[in-house]
Structure 1
Amino acid sequence: MSDTTHGALLSVRNISAGTEDKQILHHANLEVTSGETHVLMGPNGAGKSTLGHVIMGDPTYKITDGQIIFDGIDITEQAVNKRSLAGIFLSYQAPVEVPGVPLYSFLRTITQMRPELKMNARKFRQRVGEICDQLSMDQSFLTRELNVGFSGGEKKKIEMLQLLLLRPKLAILDETDSGLDVDALSVVSRGIEAYREDCDGALLMITHNTRILERLDVNHTHVMVKGRLVADGPASLIDDIDRNGFERFENAVATAAEDGE
């Protein structure tokens, strides 16, 4: 079903979701327009990653209320692969290992599934090589099994390689900076900057580390506490959180709960 009444690329409308035994998200609302960079912050366990996975269509989570509209289409019930082909990309906090699948073959396969990205073998090798150089990534990695035996930093580089190769309309980066040393963080930052410069897509950064945000032109900052989006603001809200933490937002949620809201 199409929805042409809304200008946002992504519109999360009153979404409540969780696992079979636990409600995690409570009436979340979020709008992201093409070309914008949004940051989602909050304390550990707030539900930030859950929101990213729900937008991506992870079957671990069940939506109990609300709608997700992407590029004018209601995708609330769509499968993950259809959302991916429509242009949604999720970078995992802890990328999984896939034994038996060479990285190069994986990249070639997912690219060929996207009509707008199809290219012959020579051009594909050239493009992948260019991105590897851009990310200071050894091309010998391409012959290894997907994420098998890679360090945390190397896995995040592979996520950036996929991001720049697939050029999604919406990139959701879930704690991409988590556990990285300074060098790996610099590479990931370069990948994010390259995506923002080369693509007209939207970026949703899920993080609690403000270092990776220093070189990004952030349009909107969102704060999640206990599964509720409790604050929205400009980039300056990041500095406020950096100085003062999330205590005032947590207190506001606690007060609302006491009042029965």
Structure 2
Amino acid sequence: MSGRRVYVHAHSLRALCLSDRQAGEEIIGALIGVGVKKRLFNRLVQDGRIVLGLDEGALEPVRCQISDLDGTNLTRVMRRVLYRPAVNGQSRAATPARPLFERDEDIVASCFDDNYYTFATDRDAADRMYADRVPIKDLRRLMAEAPDDPRVADLTLVRGKRLSLAPHPDPEIAPVRARLNERLTPPDLEAVARSAQARAASLTERFLGGLDRALFPEPYLGMIRESLIESLADSARPVWSGRI
């Protein structure tokens, strides 16, 4: 069992985003970016096969283009997130912070369930994540009472105000962040989300504009474009809106 599952409560991410503008901008942007990839995959690859009757060979380049989209790297952002592990169910300010994801770990799958963002670091962990039907309260109990139980042995579970963002690795950016460290109000965070959604909409429009019209006729793209653009911010809504 080499890969891990990491479950983070939406309010934990929201608290982090409100505590630091850069955290808010990067995390909201990354979560929306993941939503862009998932929605493009669903409407172009899955529906392209089912609705348009396209074969796998024709769709494989599109699948690769979606995977390589700029501005959607969740792993790069989440590797900078630190957390303070709970001891006897609680974290203290003096508890040493550790990376939520190690430098050699990639997020290969993510989901949102029971108010938690869930992440997996390899395909086996992703299978366990998608198959997980144990209620969160029972997972928490198992982690406290039987941490070697296979249902939780690979699991990191984070809730509460236990997250922070490590300094940016770029030395030109890190000192600026250290000086500012600007806290956000809830309306500020919603404005951050609107800006991230606008960037994601532009990215989506450019991607759709570059597709081969022999595969994806304009009427089909017109049909899916509006719903794609309108739903882009939904993947980060529990964080920026505070409503889950």
Same fold (TM over 0.5): no
**Higher helix share goes to which structure?**
2
**TM-score (norm: length of structure 1):** 0.24
Q: Which has the higher contact order (CA 8 A, sep 6+)?
A: 2
Relative to total residues, which structure has the larger strand share, 1 or 2? 1
